[in-house]
Amino acid sequence: MQALELKIPPPVVTALAAAAMWGIAVLAPLVDVPAALRVPAAVVLALMGAAFDLSGVVAFRRGQTTVNPMKPDKAAALVCSGVYRLTRNPMYVGLVFVLVAWAVYLSCAWALLGPVAFVLYMNRFQIQPEERALSKLFGSRYEDYKSGVRRWL
């Protein structure tokens, strides 16, 4: 299973999950929620996701380190400030919010399997390899950070 580690960029994983969610919504029964409630809720969730994503990118830029999720071994700094005080993976949290927003917009409870599958995939094939690389690069500083900040929220 190591063959999938750090191979598929997280935005591509997100797009694949979103496409699968759409497919599920085509086949599964929909939840009858008026668009006047569903659409604003989806927009709010998507904006929250975008805020997490942007905050993570800005913190990495300020820390002058790479935002390339495929090359965690190229990290030049351990960023622990800003949104990284709340979660070790704000950009991935943001993508989960976007997927939940998509499920809400689709009005399909079964589509919520998409964000769950995304989290499971990311934990195994993206975050675990990143954590190994960061442990090698930053040692006890990273371990201390890990012990004080959650992986997700």
What's the pLDDT at 2? 87
Res. 77: pLDDT tops 80: yes
| d(C-alpha 34, C-alpha 38), whole Å | 6
What's the pLDDT at 12? 98
Mind listing the pLDDT tens digit for each residue in 54-73? 999 999 999 999 999 999 99
0.85 exceeded by pTM: yes
**Spatial CB neighbours of 8, under 8 Å, sequence gap ≥ 6:** 16, 125
| Amino acid, single-letter form, for residue 104 | V
Average pLDDT, the chain: 97
Res. 112: pLDDT tops 80: yes
